[in-house]
Chains A and B, each alone.
Chain A
């Protein structure tokens, strides 16, 4: 997985390319830990993300919890498979999702 970061003042966009799975989710978690302090608007761009397993969902939920306290978070670009995962797990009600 490739993690691309675009930071501008209090806005941070994270573009994820590849699979957000058991192996790669800890990398993202580590990155976010360092980057999120001070961020008010977080965008997670999943346009190039193939799939997300439960390990990835855990990281997204943690990021959402952090952003609940300091601003907002938007998820965009999710493909059909990922949208289905968000739906069955109830993440559609937790995350703010901009449909692709």
Chain B
């Protein structure tokens, strides 16, 4: 398992994704799964960067466990920000016309759709979000 700790700021996205790519590439992850994982990690990381620490700065730990034999990867994001369960957010109505659709609210929905499983837990003052993808 590999881990990085970064400031919870959207500007750190490139660094976060480079870390993920390195782990996925050394495990031999498929290109398609890699793209989906990058999108999912971006959505979750940016969400933390924007909302977890309304009163100041904080950090996020990101852990990647890629298993090339089981062809499975687990990504965990951990922050000490305000308790927030992204999975409680209602799904957007994807059937509305372009005029009626609000611009936004799609990020977490995309993560739920593209991962094989997602889980949230608030433990010891920390938000823990885990997503799993098979390839």
A-to-B contact residues, CB < 8 Å? 21-23, 50-55, 57-58, 61-62, 64-65, 68, 80-81, 84-85, 88-90, 93-95
Contacts and interface: CB of A to CB of B under 8 A. Distances in A.
A94 B32 CA distance: 24
B110 A61 contact: no
B10 interface: yes
Interface residues of B, number: 28
A89 B110 contact: yes
A61 B42 contact: no
Given A21-B42, A22-B46, A89-B109, A61 B103 contact: yes
Tell me the dominant secondary structure on chain B's binding face.
Answer: helix
B133 to A, nearest CB: 13
Given A58-B103, A88-B110, A88-B114, A93 B10 contact: no
Contact of B110 (A22, A80, A85, A94): A85
B95 interface: yes
B86 to A, nearest CB: 12
Interface string B94-117: 111111010110110110011000
B28 to A, nearest CB: 18
B104 A81 contact: no
Nearest to A22: B46
B35 A53 contact: no
Contacts of A68: 98-99
Nearest to A59: B103
A78 B42 CA distance: 20
Contacts of B106: 54, 57-58, 89
